[in-house]
């Protein structure tokens, strides 16, 4: 499973990228607003830093303006994936941009039928939002599984990009169920390294290092 990092914070992307943990980056208008940066400027900086796809989202609601915005975003760098919402206008924009050879990430997906439409419209990525479904006591991971089955039934090449990931468990479950990509905030990716028994074991080793006066350097 590829790891995308869901942030527009350059320092955090750089730290994970230096460790080989970043296969791509996703942003959205909320993350851009949180960064306090100009969308074109910060997106260019991210594209220069990371080799993989960098999702940048349109902000218009109608297809013509979305398409114009998408074309402008796509000019930032070769690794831009234009992000469009899963609306009818978003699907129209997806089809037009993918026909032009631009990568498209269709976002705000909450049903298998929406994912089927995005694949038909030529999406490179479909972004089902796991956490926001779980928030409503629905099963976000079940949606990922349904999309996996449908895409595999018909050989769709659209990649399933599990989004709205809130915990390390979400990452494990997305990997088990066969998501192609998971995008997560940096803190969630870092939390995957944590285990209470690792901490306890290390504390035991350190106590013995102290007792025996073990030194290496």
Q: Give the DSSP H/E element, type plus range, for residue 212.
A: helix 196-212
Site residues for ligand G3P per CB under 6 A: 6, 26, 28, 129, 131-132, 163-164, 166, 183
Mark whether 120 is an active-site residue.
Answer: no
**Given the complex with ligand G3P, which of 5 and 121 has the nearer CB atom?**
5
**Given the complex with ligand G3P, which of 93 and 164 has the nearer CB atom?**
164
Nearest distance in Å: CB 115, ligand G3P: 15
Contact 17, 48 (CB under 8 A): no
- E-strand stretches of the chain: 2-6, 24-26, 54-57, 80-85, 103-109, 125-128, 159-162, 181-184
**Given the complex with ligand G3P, which of 55 and 98 has the nearer CB atom?**
55
Nearest distance in Å: CB 157, ligand G3P: 21
CA distance 209 to 183: 39
Nearest distance in Å: CB 162, ligand G3P: 9
CA distance 81 to 100: 12
User: Catalytic site residues?
Assistant: 83
């Amino acid at each position: 499973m590829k790891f995308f990092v869901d942030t527009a914070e350059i320092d955090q992307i750089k730290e994970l990228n230096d460790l080989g943990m970043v296969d791509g980056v996703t942003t959205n208008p909320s993350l851009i607003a949180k960064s306090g940066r100009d969308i074109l400027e910060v997106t260019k900086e991210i594209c220069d830093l990371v080799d993989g796809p960098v999702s940048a989202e349109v902000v218009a609601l109608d297809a013509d303006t979305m398409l114009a915005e998408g074309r402008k975003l796509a000019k930032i760098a070769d690794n831009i994936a234009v992000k469009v919402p899963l609306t009818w206008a978003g699907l129209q924009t997806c089809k037009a941009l993918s026909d032009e050879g631009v990568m498209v990430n269709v976002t705000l997906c909450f049903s298998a039928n929406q994912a089927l439409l995005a694949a038909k419209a030529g999406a490179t990525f479909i972004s089902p939002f796991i956490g926001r479904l779980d928030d409503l006591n629905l099963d976000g991971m079940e949606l990922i599984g349904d999309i996996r089955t449908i895409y595999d039934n018909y050989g769709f090449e659209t990649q399933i990009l599990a989004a709205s990931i809130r915990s390390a468990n979400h990452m494990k479950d997305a990997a088990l169920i066969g998501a192609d990509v998971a995008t997560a905030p940096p803190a969630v990716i870092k939390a995957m390294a944590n285990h209470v028994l690792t901490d306890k074991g290390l504390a035991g080793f350190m106590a013995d290092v102290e007792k025996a006066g073990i030194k290496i350097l």
